Amino acid sequence: MRIYSLQDFIKYLETTGELIRIKTEVDAKLEVVEISIRALRENMPALLFENVRGSRFPLAMNVLASEKRIELALGKHPNQLGDELITFMEEALPPKPKVFFQHPGIVGRLFCTLPKTISRPPSQQVMCSPNLNEFPITTSWPEDGGRFITLPQVFTYDPQTKKRNVGMYRMQLFDERTTGMHWQIQKGGGFHYYRAKKMGKEFQIAVALGTDPALLLATVAALPEGIDEVMFSGFLRGKRTRMARGKTISLLVPADAEFILEGTVHLTELRMEGPFGDHFGHYSNAAEFPVFSINTITHRRNPIYPATVVGRPPMEDKYLGNATQQVLGPLIRLIHPEICDLWAYYEAGFHNLLVVAVEERYRKEAMKTALSIMGEGQLSLTKCIITVSEDVNPRDFHAVLRAIRENFDPAYDFIMIPKVPLDTLDFTSYKMNLGSKMIIDATKGKSGNVVWEDSLKVQDFERLLKIADARIEDWNIIDETLLVVTVPDNGKEIVTKLTKSPEIIGPKIIAAVSPDVNVRDLEQTIWGIFTRFDAERDMVFTQEKLVGISPVFRGKMGIDATWKRGYPLPLVMTDEIIDHVDKQWDTYWK
């Protein structure tokens, strides 16, 4: 089935049993969020709330919150689409006519990349004065700074080159016609805003709410700067994306969206925005960001408002992010033929942990590859890169840990890069947009002397950890490589003691986490470690010394990944909302 709009997709999901209509009156403040989080974690269908208190529009959530719904949206598994695309690109360079006949499916999708402009779009069936208070805009977490539009697709155009960008940036509702515009570093819309400020030009933008899955996935995809998301959506859909001229702005807008917000971002006005519970599982701090003023709103007849929730994984962005990297990930081989595969971990908020499988053709090529990746587009925001050999599956964290055990020697295979740009949402350096990064090289065949140690038995760890520090509340050893301990505080002191202890043998890495992390759950362990440490500030080794001006590390690596004073709070729903949803749970599904 061809899907051209959100409503098309919702109807399709309903026919396949992948949508539930909820007729019970619900509140967009916290209640719908708690419902959608539970529904996702119980593998329930997408949700359409038909009766949201104070709003005349229905609310759709969890629309793409499963692998099955992603596959229904694309018409095939994203892995298959990615493999087909890279096979075609590799065979088509240099161009050979026969290749086009050998890959008719991909060629057909490529012909669909050119957008189509129409004159009477569904997204402009109704035109009205701005009043965002009529929308079922959600408040996701108790300490959020207000209501936030969480699935906006922001259309901007470079004022000099006229190139288009479509990005997803949260928008805090200030009043019925004004919102924040959270442009983080390394975002296309932010670059266009920067250039508009430099040129002193009025900066018109459009925001689409509720598009078909192809345009939504193209919006969240980490495309190279300058690659048009609208064109990429035509490739994903296998059908040209329909666009239309805006009503009050000289920009093209999606013809099949549910809502279009047309307006201007002020070049000199900033306003305090946030806090907001974000996909690192913590609140991002309030800060000043640009302001978006809406001129007019157009929408379909009987439109549906979309929303999503981000927070402690897993959330819907797990499926969105995994799908886009499955499609686009293989394309990195066009730039780096040595890369066999790569995977960014949703558990760590994607940007905090990237594993790259490399076929090394010369000594330390993997380290060169990692350094190169840290300078490329959205990948430049990666905090930790682990390189492994070509026979290791980077999506299998257990296999990655075994590669570290067998091949990693910090004296030869560790690089820390301090004081560099970092994801705006990362709080671990206490400085917005700045922090430190690290590279762990766990590829085979290096000349360094990797130290093997026989692992202690489980009962030996139990005994030694009790002796080492009575403050250790829980622990787990994963693949004889990663020892994780739970401590209430003083994480740096405790992890230093364990890392330098000659009695703790076996694990290559020792990490301390806070009690809110379940160290028996791998997903939560990855989240708890990689979202809460700064490489420059929070790491220790068994031995540390300077050779000239170069630091040399030996032995075990220690990471203090505990929550620290000055960090924003982790996301926790209120007991009141949890109790309310508990009591109402059965009524939602009637």
Residue 447: pLDDT over 60: no
Per-residue confidence band for 424, with pLDDT thresholds at 50, 70 and 90: confident
- Give the pLDDT score at 331: 86
- Of 543, 546, 536, 475, the C-alpha closest to 511 is 475
Tokens standing for 369?
Answer: 């590859």
- Give the pLDDT score at 101: 63
Same fold, 335-442 and 458-561: yes
- Of 1, 2, 4, the C-alpha closest to 258 is 4
User: Under a CB-based contact definition with an 8 Å cutoff, are residues 149 and 209 in contact?
Assistant: yes
Cis amide linkage into residue 152, ω under 30° from 0: no
User: Under a CB-based contact definition with an 8 Å cutoff, are residues 69 and 18 in contact?
Assistant: yes
Environment class of 415 (CB within 10 Å of its CB; exposed 0-12, middle 13-18, buried 19+): middle
Per the prediction, the chain carries an average pLDDT of: 92
Percent of the chain with pLDDT over 90: 76
- Give the pLDDT score at 569: 96
Environment class of 147 (CB within 10 Å of its CB; exposed 0-12, middle 13-18, buried 19+): buried
* Crossing angle of helices 316-328 and 67-74, rounded to 10°: 50
User: Under a CB-based contact definition with an 8 Å cutoff, are residues 176 and 135 in contact?
Assistant: no
Residue 29: pLDDT over 60: yes
| Residues carrying an active site annotation | 278
**What is the CATH number that goes with domain 458-561?**
3.40.1670.10
- Give the pLDDT score at 539: 96
Which is higher by pLDDT, 270 or 456?
A: 270
Rounded to the nearest 10°, the torsion over CA 63, 68, 72, 74 is 90
What residue type is assigned to position 97 of the chain? P
- Of 42, 41, 45, 38, the C-alpha closest to 62 is 45
Alpha carbons 60 and 10: distance in angstroms, whole number: 9
**For 425-436, how does the pLDDT look when each residue is reduced to its tens digit (9 = 90+)?**
899 999 988 999
- Give the pLDDT score at 459: 65
Per-residue confidence band for 238, with pLDDT thresholds at 50, 70 and 90: confident
**For 38-78, how does the pLDDT look when each residue is reduced to its tens digit (9 = 90+)?**
999 999 999 999 999 999 999 999 999 999 999 999 988 99
- Give the pLDDT score at 56: 93
Tokens standing for 447?
Answer: 């000349």
Query: For the chain, what are the domain ranges?
Result: 6-306, 335-442, 458-561
Alpha carbons 83 and 85: distance in angstroms, whole number: 5
**For 363-412, how does the pLDDT look when each residue is reduced to its tens digit (9 = 90+)?**
999 999 999 999 888 888 899 999 999 999 999 999 999 999 999 999 99
Alpha carbons 60 and 56: distance in angstroms, whole number: 13
Give me the long-range contacts of 518-524 (CB less than 8 A, separation at least 24).
519/474, 519/475, 519/476, 519/484, 519/485, 519/486, 520/476, 522/397, 522/478, 523/313, 523/314, 523/347, 524/347
- Please report, for residues 184, 210, 220, 234, 283, the alpha-carbon distance to residue 313 in angstroms, rounded to integers and kept in the order given: 21, 23, 17, 30, 14
Q: What is the arithmetic mean of pLDDT over 315-340?
A: 92
Q: What is the arithmetic mean of pLDDT over 289-305?
A: 97
Q: What is the arithmetic mean of pLDDT over 114-124?
A: 94
Per-residue confidence band for 267, with pLDDT thresholds at 50, 70 and 90: very high
Tokens standing for 40?
Answer: 């996702």
Residue 549: pLDDT over 90: no
Percent of the chain with pLDDT over 70: 95
- Give the pLDDT score at 450: 61
Number of other residues whose CB lies within 10 A of the CB of residue 93: 10
Of 168-172, 239-243, 371-375, 544-548, least confident by mean pLDDT is 544-548
User: Under a CB-based contact definition with an 8 Å cutoff, are residues 286 and 354 in contact?
Assistant: no
- Give the pLDDT score at 449: 55
Alpha carbons 373 and 478: distance in angstroms, whole number: 28
User: Under a CB-based contact definition with an 8 Å cutoff, are residues 465 and 503 in contact?
Assistant: no
- Of 275, 182, 222, the C-alpha closest to 381 is 222
Tokens standing for 491?
Answer: 């994480």
- Give the pLDDT score at 464: 85
Per-residue confidence band for 142, with pLDDT thresholds at 50, 70 and 90: very high
- Give the pLDDT score at 93: 57
The DSSP bridge partners found for residue 153 are 208
DSSP 8-state class, residue 426: -
Any idea which architecture 6-306 has in CATH?
A: Roll (2.30)
3-state secondary structure 467-503: HHCCCCCEEEEECCCEEEEECCCCHHHHHHHHHHCCC
Q: What is the arithmetic mean of pLDDT over 569-584?
A: 97
Residue 300: pLDDT over 80: yes
Which is higher by pLDDT, 88 or 448?
A: 88
Per-residue confidence band for 100, with pLDDT thresholds at 50, 70 and 90: low
- Give the pLDDT score at 398: 98
DSSP string, 217-262: HHHHS-PPTT--HHHHHHHHHTSPPEEEE-SSSSSEEETT-SEEEE
**What is the CATH number that goes with domain 335-442?**
3.40.1670.10
User: Under a CB-based contact definition with an 8 Å cutoff, are residues 192 and 203 in contact?
Assistant: yes
- Of 155, 189, 138, the C-alpha closest to 259 is 155
449 Ramachandran zone, left/alpha/beta (phi>0; psi -120 to 50): beta
User: Under a CB-based contact definition with an 8 Å cutoff, are residues 356 and 366 in contact?
Assistant: yes
**For 488-529, how does the pLDDT look when each residue is reduced to its tens digit (9 = 90+)?**
999 999 999 999 998 888 899 999 999 999 999 999 999 999
